[in-house]
């Protein structure tokens, strides 16, 4: 029995010596810690990264159209004599373009009725050819958004508001925009006209 105990003691000393020796080697850096851990533990399971299929995302941006406003109150022009010209501001006209176009355009036009007094017979009527409309220079037009403005002075010498001419045009539009101007109206009173209070209606439109 003494021999058995001696053998067991010798075995434990060898095991202890091996453990101490391994620890000493690891401490010196001769065997990297990661390599040592790999030899003494179960290998880790590394799974590859996973990516789900892409999801298409959609939505619709809608425009709300285009419109134009003008004063609803009476615009009073100057009081000329027969053969003279009545002039004055119409008031602010504004186009609101919410179509959301890319490279779009719009045209604002103007038309007029004849100007009449009394019963509106020939001597009491001023024709549309004697009505002018000046929106001012392009620089005088107030705008928002991205838009290029061109203006057209409709003169009495050029035939007046015959044929509903374009007075303001917009090009190179990107997205929503607005444009406003205050046109000067002129009405030539023919030498054959009679005295009286004349009135007519000017209409602004946009397409």
pLDDT tens track for 161-188: 999 999 999 999 999 999 999 999 999 9
Q: 48 pLDDT band (50/70/90 cuts)?
A: confident
| Mean pLDDT confidence for 61-68 | 95
CA neighbor of 106 nearest in space, from 33, 184, 205, 34:
205
| Mean pLDDT confidence for 58-68 | 95
How far, in Å, CA of 76 to CA of 73, rounded?
9
Percentage of the chain beyond pLDDT 70 is 78
> The pTM is what?
0.75
The better pLDDT of the pair 128, 9 is held by 128
Cβ atoms of 144 and 125 within 8 Å: the answer is: no
| Alpha helix positions (H), the chain | 2-28, 33-40
How far, in Å, CA of 158 to CA of 61, rounded?
43
State the virtual CA torsion across 155, 157, 163, 167 in degrees, nearest 10: -10
pLDDT at 44: 52
How far, in Å, CA of 123 to CA of 113, rounded?
16
């Amino acid at each position: 029995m003494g021999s058995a105990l001696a053998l067991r003691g010798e075995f434990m000393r060898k095991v202890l010596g091996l453990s101490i020796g391994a620890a000493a080697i690891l401490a010196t850096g001769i065997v990297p810690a990661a390599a040592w851990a790999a030899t003494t533990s179960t290998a880790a399971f590394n799974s590859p990264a996973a990516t789900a299929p892409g999801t298409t995302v959609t939505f619709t941006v809608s425009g709300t159209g285009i419109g134009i406003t003008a004063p609803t109150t009476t615009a009073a022009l100057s009081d000329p004599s027969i053969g003279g010209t009545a002039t004055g501001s119409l008031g602010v006209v504004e186009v609101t373009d919410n179509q959301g176009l890319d490279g779009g355009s719009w045209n604002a036009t103007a038309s007029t009725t004849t100007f009449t007094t009394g019963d509106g017979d020939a001597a009491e009527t001023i024709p549309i050819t004697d009505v002018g409309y000046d929106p001012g220079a392009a620089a005088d037009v107030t705008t928002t958004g991205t838009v290029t403005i061109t203006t057209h002075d409709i003169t009495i010498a050029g035939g007046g508001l015959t044929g509903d001419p374009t007075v303001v045009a917009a090009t190179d539009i990107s997205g929503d925009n607005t444009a406003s101007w205050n046109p000067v109206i002129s009405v030539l009173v023919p030498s054959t006209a009679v005295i009286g209070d004349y009135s007519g209606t000017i209409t602004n439109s946009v397409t």
